[in-house]
Amino acid sequence: MIRVPGQPGKDLCDSHLGVTRRDILRVGGSSMLGLSLGSMLQLQAVNRARGAEAGALPAKAKSIIMCYLQGGPSHLDLWDPKENVPDNVKSVFSNISTVLPGIQFTELLPNLAKVLDKTTLIRSMSYSPNGLFNHTAAIYQMMTGYTTDKVSPSGQLEPPSPKDFPNFGSNIIRLRPAQQPMLPFVMLPRPLQESNVIGKGGTAGFLGKAFDPYTLYPSGDDMDMYKMNKINVTDLEMRADVYGERMERRARLLDTINAGMPEIDRAVKDYKLNEYYDQALSLISSGRARDAFSIEQESRETRDAYGRNTFGQSCLLARRLVEAGTRVVEVIWPKVANSDNHSWDTHQGLSSRLKNQSAPMLDVGLSALINDLEDRGMLEETLVVAVGEFGRSPQRGVSTSGNNNSDDGRDHWPYCYTAMLAGAGIKRGYVHGKSDQTASSPIENPVHPGELLATIYEAFGIAPETIVYNHLNQPRELVKAEAVSALFA
């Protein structure tokens, strides 16, 4: 293989755009497909080798499904309700019992209440924010483990940059590459987003585009509940005029060139080129990825069980992807963080939006995912995490972040909120931490978002203090936090 030095995309007409994943993965129209994808796989291996791991740990997780509830769901109105509190704190929804004695949810989560014995509930997620309480900063911290102070005049963070810290999924696939000819990291059905800041914390950042997620964003408005019926993965389809034999001939041509150039062979013998090209060809020609995206292969009963909406069908697709060998799937809540309708950002209209839109989708989709993974014997090796960037203010109608809130709304609240974990060695039927009387702050076992990420890494057998190198070749830890050992069985 011949390396061409220089900045990616520098010689393109639109040099500022660089080279996208679509350019790399698109099969038709380029005789260089095998070389491009092979180079990407090689780049992944080279970057893995650069990480000075701090020591291998026992790995319990083979894959992770992160259900990211962007917008900040109200813990008080879902899975940490309080009794005997002032009216402007108490949820408008009634409490119900769960399968765990003494643990209550609100009436909005009847299905999750029944599967709580398969999960760990963290009721003490907490952190003090640096600067503004905005979504983008909180999302970036949750996904990377790091904070950033660079904000635009509007008060939001700047858009994604190649200098950003990588999404935790990018770190995982670099250090624990998929063992199947399958897309290692998939993000769906929409990007992380606050207003016009799209994707901050959702890329590989300084690791490079080779470790970016494959993004599946079906067309349609956020309120289109049937978006997942419009899945289009033509990137992974072989054009009619590009047959398997033709691709194999290209691979043989590479072998012929190498055989005729022994000097180059010797120079690159340590690069395992054939291995990378074999992986590239296998991904495309096997059809494994295309088949995983074929959600219509599921029975009507299974699809109904997950809920016929974007979130539910995204959870089902996540299960299919993990089953096919994908290492990391991030299901992003299908609504922009700071928006209306079924967004979790309930500054107003909380009662109606949670009861009729957000909560039923979460309750049905997430509970079905946990049950389905359990029934298929996949939960022991699949880590499921459901969490947002923060919770909501204990008092309704007050401002904690500069936003206007109605009497039927709660503002941003990073000081105390809830997360749910299941599978991959995580304790079953366990509640970690405890919030105070008004769910304002933890009174037992607080868990910082960085500690949650450290726990995720440790589940994969990756030491949280593992070193990665940024764009300036400076060593950086995956996350500056320790795993919460009490969460593991």
Spatial neighbors of 302 by CB under 8 A, at least 6 apart, are 316, 372
Spatial contact of 395 and 416, defined as CB atoms under 8 Å apart: no
The structure tokens 């020609």 sit at: 285
Report long-range pairs for 252-257 (Cβ below 8 Å, ≥24 apart): 254/34, 254/35
pLDDT tens sequence across 315-342: 999 999 999 999 999 999 999 998 899 9
Q: Within a 10 A sphere around the Cβ of 426, how many other Cβ atoms? A: 24
What is the band of 279 on the pLDDT scale with cuts at 50, 70, 90? low
Task: Give the pLDDT score at 246.
Answer: 55
pLDDT tens sequence across 140-170: 999 999 987 665 555 567 788 899 999 999 9
Spatial contact of 72 and 235, defined as CB atoms under 8 Å apart: no
pTM of the shown model = 0.82
pLDDT at 269 over 70: no
Provide mean pLDDT across the span 479-486: 97
pLDDT tens sequence across 184-213: 999 999 999 988 889 999 999 999 998 999
Q: Which helix (H) or strand (E) holds 449?
A: helix 449-459
pLDDT at 136 over 70: yes
pLDDT tens sequence across 37-46: 555 555 555 5
What is the band of 478 on the pLDDT scale with cuts at 50, 70, 90? very high
pLDDT at 25 over 50: no
Mean pLDDT of the chain: 84
Burial classification of residue 433, based on how many CB atoms lie within 10 Å of its CB (0-12 exposed, 13-18 middle, 19 or more buried): buried
Q: Which of 353, 306, 341, 333 is nearest to 223 (CA)?
A: 341
